[in-house]
Amino acid sequence: MERVTIADAINELDELACALDNAYWDSANIQHKDIFYNLISIIHGELNELAKLSVVDHSMAYEPITAPWRNAVSKLKQLHSHLEAWVIRTKTVEQLEYHLPKLIRTLTVQN
């Protein structure tokens, strides 16, 4: 398994948050909006904690900091398995299809 640095994790989390934000605004289903919003909030919490680290630390190996993010793997897997049904725009599906498996692997290895 390749080593994920803090800088890599920040980039991946930011990209995932942007894709989830697009999915949130595209969705007309309130249950899907709730899931998207929940994940966005969890990611922002993790990014806020990572922002407290020094730039010198960005080359260190990444480990999830917040408990909600460490426990988000089931939510990410649920979203990944329902992407085509829950996300309308093809570009957003492609973005999520690219980022979700990476982050699921990162969280699964850590747990």
- The tens digit of pLDDT for each residue in 70-82 reads 999 999 999 999 9
Confidence of residue 4 (pLDDT cuts 50, 70, 90): confident
**Whether residue 2 has pLDDT greater than 80:** no
**Taking residues 75-94, what's their average pLDDT?**
93
Handedness of CA 13, 94, 111, 42 (dihedral sign): positive
**Taking residues 44-69, what's their average pLDDT?**
92
Average pLDDT of the chain to the nearest whole number: 91
Q: Which of 45, 58, 54, 69 is nearest to 11 (CA)?
A: 58
Q: Whole-angstrom Cα distance, residue 99 to residue 40? A: 14
Confidence of residue 37 (pLDDT cuts 50, 70, 90): very high
* Alpha helices per DSSP H over 2-89: 6-26, 30-51, 67-70, 73-81, 83-86
Confidence of residue 7 (pLDDT cuts 50, 70, 90): very high
pTM of the model: 0.90
